[in-house]
A and B are shown apart, each in its own frame.
Chain A
């Protein structure tokens, strides 16, 4: 009797916990579902009020406005370019520095670490950085997305601690065969570090894809604006007159601004959602490496 009661009590906890976890899944997925449904919704229904569960009638009208909008598609191009170049440069540069730092016989290693640690405690901040970028000619320049983001100390530490787990004998045998330090790095170490490269590449790509704030601060001309900065202007500043005019011309007054907003939000999110399942298995590992050493 006693045993049975105990068993039952655990059962109730298990059920509540499972329900709670399902609720967590629901509230994290629902925002995305909401955008998806509203972007697909036919214009007539979207006008009548928010449709929250399923589209009443599927229509791709708002997507065709988004895909036909030249400035939005140009923003999409800038963002893609920025993400690809930014990620490659960040991963390569950070990995190279980290490889050098992973050698404990490196002269000046302690000094280099001290220089880096100070930057974690204290930094110049917004205005001094803005002045620096202006002086370097990076204001309103595409490279403002790439160069200031090409290195972070934190990711360097993640790379470095991973490189240290690679057995020395592997590198030594390559050295005996006459490989230089660069040869060892590119032929032996990097090919054996795909897990950590994938993690850092994901972090960097997500940063570049999602960032809108650099665009707000440093980019002035329309043809350099990344997609997310455009979205910020459309959503938060409500400046979508151009697109609305276009939509009006195409669909009369039937297509409400909100449908176009949701469609552009989907377009800006789909690449992340496509990459996510492939790469998320590396995530936990990557965060753990960072957590242990960082």
Chain B
């Protein structure tokens, strides 16, 4: 046993060149991923950034109790879950649907062109895309003009300053920006399906819909399952860049997600310890969600991440 270990150490030094490639990566991870994890302990302290860590008093679960009784915390939970559930139920199937329909296009060039165009918005910054949304949804914007021309509303509505529209604005703008991009992975999975399966099904008399349902969907099911598990485990997160761009004082009641709450409490109000306690609790719940979704998917469909 000892000799085997010694052999390993010898090999380790013999491959010093390879090790010198990998170890900086590990050191980077320790600094930028593990040290922040260590700093989570300030959620149990009254930490002030001006003083050394050890001089901060230990306060146990005080901050955790504080946020549990904060109305604004519960409001941010409601907003995060509201936006996530809309995105999950109405947003998750859209890239799958788009990939399926795009797959039915016979003309190869047209197919490629549509695909390239569909993921273009993914590459546009949220500052630009959010700016367009702010313009469209504001006074004299495209949405108001369109709705009035169609007779759906009589006078202009300031969608962006009215909190009740906020969740839907995040859903629509996110879908518009990211649906084409999210479809790539399904399109890639569909292109990997053996054409013989379709030929066999056609001989058996399966129509277009039956082929789509029994072959395409069945073959990309593992991909769908994995992305669904990731979506569920990400439910307590929100697209910070999007929400930060679109929120304002008027819609904050429906716009403040958990991420934004952590940002506002921690960096705007300077309550570092309190904010870190929220963050810590969220990470643990998110980890739990990941395992739960993975377990449920394994039981229901047989597909899972681990």
Contacts and interface: CB of A to CB of B under 8 A. Distances in A.
Given A17-B105, A235-B127, A291 B176 contact: no
Given A31-B129, A210-B125, A284-B184, A128 B36 contact: yes
A123 B120 contact: no
A93 interface: yes
A76 interface: no
B98 A24 contact: yes
B188 A97 contact: no
A128 B42 contact: yes
Q: Which of A25, A107, A180, A206: most chain B CB closer than 10 A?
A: A107
A231 B117 CA distance: 25
A35 B128 contact: yes
B185 interface: yes
Contacts of A216: 244
Contact of A116 (B15, B29, B110): B29
Interface in A114-136: 115-116, 119, 121-132, 134
Contacts of B39: 124, 127-128, 131-132
Given A235-B134, A284-B188, A24 B124 contact: no
Q: State the main secondary structure of chain A at its contact with B.
A: helix
Given A50-B142, A50-B145, A121-B287, A151 B130 contact: no
A217 B267 contact: yes
A93 B25 contact: yes
Nearest to B192: A288
Interface stretch (A56-64, A242-250, A265-273): A265-273
A276 B120 contact: yes
A126 B263 contact: yes
A125 B17 contact: no
B176 A21 contact: no
Contact of B188 (A24, A128, A156, A287): A287
Contacts of B246: 236
The number of chain B residues touching the other chain, given as a range, is 35 or more
A251 interface: no
B184 A287 contact: yes
B105 A125 contact: no
B37 A25 contact: no
B170 to A, nearest CB: 14
A106 to B, nearest CB: 6
B118 A291 contact: no
B272 interface: yes
A94 B22 CA distance: 9
B102 interface: yes
A127 B265 CA distance: 10
B17 A32 contact: no
Contacts of B118: 24-25, 28
Given A28-B118, A121-B287, A106 B126 contact: no
B132 A276 contact: no
A288 B37 contact: no
Contacts, number: 250
Contacts of A21: 101-102, 105, 110, 114
A21 B99 CA distance: 11
Interface string B113-141: 11111111101111111111011100011
Nearest to A119: B33
A213 B244 contact: yes
Contacts of B34: 119
B18 A232 contact: no
B242 to A, nearest CB: 10
B187 A134 contact: no
Interface in B78-93: none
Contact of A276 (B17, B123, B262, B263): B123
Interface in A134-181: 134, 148, 150-151, 153, 156, 180-181
Interface string A249-273: 0000000001001000100110010
Contacts of B77: none
A219 B248 CA distance: 21
Contacts of A156: 25
B195 interface: no
Contacts of B245: 232, 235-236
- The winner among A27, A124, A182 for most chain B CB atoms within 10 A is A124
A156 B40 CA distance: 26
Interface stretch (B66-74, B151-159, B275-283, B295-303): B275-283
A284 to B, nearest CB: 6
Contact of B241 (A93, A126, A213): A213
B266 A236 contact: no
Interface of B: 8, 11-12, 15, 17-19, 21-22, 24-26, 28-40, 42, 49, 98, 101-102, 104-106, 110, 113-121, 123-132, 134-136, 140-142, 145, 176, 180, 184-185, 187-189, 208, 223, 240-241, 244-246, 248, 259, 262-263, 266-267, 272, 275-276, 279, 282-283, 287, 290
10 contacts: A25-B117, A96-B21, A112-B22, A121-B287, A126-B259, A128-B36, A128-B37, A131-B272, A231-B127, A265-B127
Given A25-B118, A101-B25, A115-B30, 12 more contacts: A21-B105, A28-B120, A52-B145, A97-B24, A106-B19, A124-B39, A128-B38, A131-B49, A132-B32, A210-B123, A212-B127, A235-B245
The 4 A-B residue pairs whose C-beta atoms are closest, nearest first, are A124-B36, A97-B25, A128-B39, A100-B21
